[in-house]
Amino acid sequence: MLVTNGWSEAYNDHFTVGSGGSGDRPLVVSYTSSPPADVVYATDGRKEPASVNINPPGGVFRQIEFVGILKGTKQPELAQKWVDFMLSKPFQEDMPLQMYVYPALTGAALPELFTKFAEIPSDPAQMDPALIDAHREQWIEAWTNAVLR
C-alpha cells in the first residue's frame, strides 16, 4: 500500500495508467467519476480514458458532499446567496468537469464525458451512520497508524 499527499501525486506519479506507464502501482483509489478527468488532463490527445472503474457489488462507498450555513454566522443573507448560487443550474452543470462530482440538482445536464465515462455504482456499500459515529475515532486512529508506519 502507498498513501501519497494527494490525488494528483497518486494518479500522475505512481498509477501506471496516469503516469503513462511509468508508475509502479496498477491500481489507484479514486472516484468512479475520475475517468473523465483522465481525458480532460491527458497530454496525449486521447478521447477516451486509459483508466477504468472497478465497481464490485458492495465494494465502493458513496461520498456525498454538502454545503450549508453555519449557525451563528454574522452574514446569513450573504451565506444564503452563496448556497443559492451553488445550487443554481449553471453552477451545478459546470461542476462535474471542475470537481469531477455529480451535480446535486435534479435535472442538471451532465457533460458528455460524464455520460460516456463516469459511472454511478449500482450497488454501493451501505453502512449505518450510527455505526460510523460509534467507531469513527477508532477507525481514524487505525488508518493513521497504518499510513504512518
Q: Tens digit of pLDDT for each residue in 96-131?
A: 999 999 999 999 999 999 999 999 888 999 999 999
Residue 11 belongs to some domain of the structure: no
Domain extent, residue 89, equals 31-148
pLDDT tens digits, one per residue of 1-22: 788 888 888 888 888 877 677 8
Phi/psi at 19 (5° precision): -95, 15
**Within a domain: 44:** yes
Residue 9 lies in a domain: no
Give the pTM: 0.79
Helical residues (DSSP H) of the chain, grouped into ranges:
7-9, 35-40, 76-86, 89-94, 96-99, 112-117, 129-148
The total of structural domains in the chain comes to: 1
Q: How far is Cα 33 from Cα 114, in angstroms, rounded to an integer?
A: 7
3 domain residue, yes or no? no
Asked whether residue 132 is domain-assigned, the answer is: yes
> Is residue 79 in some structural domain?
yes
